[in-house]
């Protein structure tokens, strides 16, 4: 592909009050349209445009190409706020961080990608890795790739290729334009419906070699965000979605519990000892997991900013904080569901959104239960037993 096919992009508002107002506007629109997004099973490109105006899609573009890279905590707090309204949209917004992968591309390629502006929405359907035909100057790619979250609103798409001698056996990501591939609408799920994580299908698409990269490969740009552990960040931006979902669920049960009477006309649910204690414990668990999550993020970011070496133990703590956030957040949402009682079983109940979506992040390969063991192994100086960990 060539990047000439990428359309003129929506640009972020100027940093400061205008951009902050754009973010609040996007949140207001999301509150009114989240049911629509879930029913149609994707976040539309015009809403991605609102998030671009809020700066979320230049947050990982290198400064040398006009980006305004955000520190991970600041970016993830934005994702968390989106997720507290609709976790599935939060999941899509989290990929505003994914341009860090592009730092492994040749500088000339990056310059072409950002020529139309730094606000780029990227989505990748990387698995299963497909064997491409090596030809002069690049690859002929065919196959179907699953789980391309946000593909319906992306400017660029990634597909996964098996690695060869040219990549030392490491898998490659090949960049294609949406016009070159088909989106196979197979996203039929109970949770995270609005992520639109459909499959991508290509039929003998040529991809120049300079439009391929190794995910997590050596960056060609030295900026603080390119020094931050890229694979750990990929896990973190997904985990923070669960923290947002948990926040939304707890806010709901707190609001209901503060009501004067229950739906039956009896004592308000909040007056019940189990409700008060359950809400308090869930609040403490959420805040504790969140504190660990952001604390280790800021510790490692400080080292990245100073250009100091980041140890494997610190990378493992980033991964541990992400896994713990996803699992604790899921438990908190289940606790909120329990407090809500029988009414929460109805599909139109507000907690159903958080319940269905919050179950998903901890199922992701980067956040599954086994990553607890892998983090513990690294902290003990042992082999993690999981590829590309930490």
For residue 65, pLDDT over 80 is answered with yes
Rounded to the nearest 5°, which phi and psi values hold at 349? -70, 140
Residues 174-200, mean pLDDT to the nearest whole number: 97
- Residues 274 and 269: their CA atoms lie apart, in Å, by 9
Distances (CA, A) of 180 to 71, 105, 129, 344: 34, 20, 18, 44
Per the CB < 8 A criterion, the answer to whether 232 and 315 are in contact is yes
Calculate the average pLDDT of the chain: 95
User: What number is the average pLDDT over the span 208-233?
Assistant: 96
* Band of residue 227 on the pLDDT scale cut at 50, 70, 90: very high
Residues 6+ apart with CB under 8 A from 163: 169, 170, 171, 172, 214
- Segment holding 210, helix H or strand E: none
pLDDT digits (tens, 9 = 90+) for 131-149: 999 999 999 999 999 999 9
Tokens of 302: 């400080």
348: confidence class by pLDDT, cuts 50, 70, 90: very high
Query: For residue 165, what pLDDT band results from cuts at 50, 70 and 90?
Result: confident
What is the DSSP track for 11-35?
-PPPTTHHHHHHHHHHHHHHHHHHH
The answer, yes or no, to whether residue 263 has pLDDT greater than 80, is no
pTM of the model: 0.95
- Per-residue pLDDT band for 368 (boundaries 50, 70, 90) equals very high
Task: Specify the DSSP element, H or E, that contains 224.
Answer: helix 224-227
**What's the CA gap between 26 and 23, in Å, rounded?**
5
Share of the chain above pLDDT 90, in %: 90
The per-residue pLDDT for 216 is 82
Q: Is the pLDDT of residue 259 over 80?
A: no
pLDDT value of position 49: 98
For residue 39, the surrounding DSSP H or E stretch is helix 17-40
Contact assessment for residue 329 and residue 289, using Cβ atoms and an 8 Å cutoff:
yes
* pLDDT computed for residue 268 by the predictor: 77
The pLDDT assigned to 4 comes to 45
pLDDT in tens, 106-121: 999 999 999 999 999 9
Q: Inform me whether the pLDDT recorded for 338 exceeds 80.
A: yes
Model pLDDT for residues 295-312, shown as the tens digit of each residue: 999 999 999 999 999 999
Structure confidence at residue 266 (pLDDT):
64
Poorest-confidence range of 86-95, 97-106, 212-221?
Answer: 212-221
Please name which of 61, 65, 67, 97 lies closest in space to residue 80, comparing C-alpha atoms.
97
Distance from chain centroid for Cα 121:
12
What integer is the mean pLDDT of 332-342? 97
Nearest C-alpha neighbor of 246 from the set 339, 374, 375: 339
| 82, containing H or E segment | helix 72-85
Q: For each of the domains in the chain, give its residue range(s) and CATH number, in order of start.
A: 3-113 (1.10.540.10), 122-213 (2.40.110.10), 228-379 (1.20.140.10)
Q: What is residue 288's predicted lDDT score, i.e. its pLDDT? A: 98
Q: What percent of the chain has pLDDT over 70?
A: 96
pLDDT, tens only, 15-58: 999 999 999 999 999 999 999 999 999 999 999 999 999 999 99
The one-character DSSP state at 388 is T
Closest by CA to 92, choosing from 244, 237, 243, is 237
């Amino acid at each position: 592909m060539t990047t000439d096919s990428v359309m003129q992009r929506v640009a972020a508002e100027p940093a400061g009050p205008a951009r902050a107002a754009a973010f609040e506007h996007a949140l207001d629109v999301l509150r009114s349209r989240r049911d629509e997004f879930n029913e149609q099973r994707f976040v539309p490109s015009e809403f991605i445009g609102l998030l671009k105006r809020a700066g979320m899609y230049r947050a990982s573009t290198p400064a040398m190409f006009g980006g305004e890279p955000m520190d991970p905590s600041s970016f993830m707090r934005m994702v968390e706020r989106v997720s507290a309204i609709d976790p599935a949209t939060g999941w899509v917004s989290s990929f505003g961080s994914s341009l860090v992968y592009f730092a492994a591309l040749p500088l000339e390629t990056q310059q072409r990608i950002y020529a139309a502006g730094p606000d780029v929405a990227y989505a990748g359907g990387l698995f299963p890795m497909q064997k491409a035909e090596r030809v002069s100057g690049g690859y002929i790619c065919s196959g179907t790739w699953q789980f391309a979250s946000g593909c319906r609103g992306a400017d660029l798409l990634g597909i996964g290729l098996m690695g060869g001698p040219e990549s030392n056996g490491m898998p490659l990501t090949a960049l294609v334009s949406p016009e070159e591939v088909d989106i196979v609408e197979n996203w039929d799920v109970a949770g995270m419906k609005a992520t639109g994580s459909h499959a991508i299908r290509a039929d003998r698409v040529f991809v120049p070699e300079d439009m391929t990269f190794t995910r997590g490969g050596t960056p060609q740009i030295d900026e603080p965000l390119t020094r931050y552990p890229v694979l750990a960040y990929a896990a973190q931006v997904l985990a923070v979605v669960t923290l947002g979902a948990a926040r939304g669920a707890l806010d709901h049960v707190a609001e209901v519990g503060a009501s004067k009477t229950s739906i039956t006309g009896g004592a308000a649910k909040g007056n019940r000892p189990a409700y008060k204690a359950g809400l308090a414990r869930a609040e403490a668990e959420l805040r504790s997991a969140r504190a660990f999550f952001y604390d280790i993020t800021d510790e490692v970011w400080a080292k990245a900013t100073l250009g100091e070496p980041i140890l494997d133990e610190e990378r493992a703590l980033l991964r541990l904080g992400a896994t713990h956030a996803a699992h604790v957040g899921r438990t908190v949402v289940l606790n909120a569901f329990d407090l809500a009682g029988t009414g929460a079983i109805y599909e139109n109940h507000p907690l159903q959104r958080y319940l269905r979506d919050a179950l998903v992040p901890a199922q992701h390969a980067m956040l599954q239960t086994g990553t607890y063991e892998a983090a513990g192994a690294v902290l003990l100086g042992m082999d993690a037993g999981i590829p590309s960990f930490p």
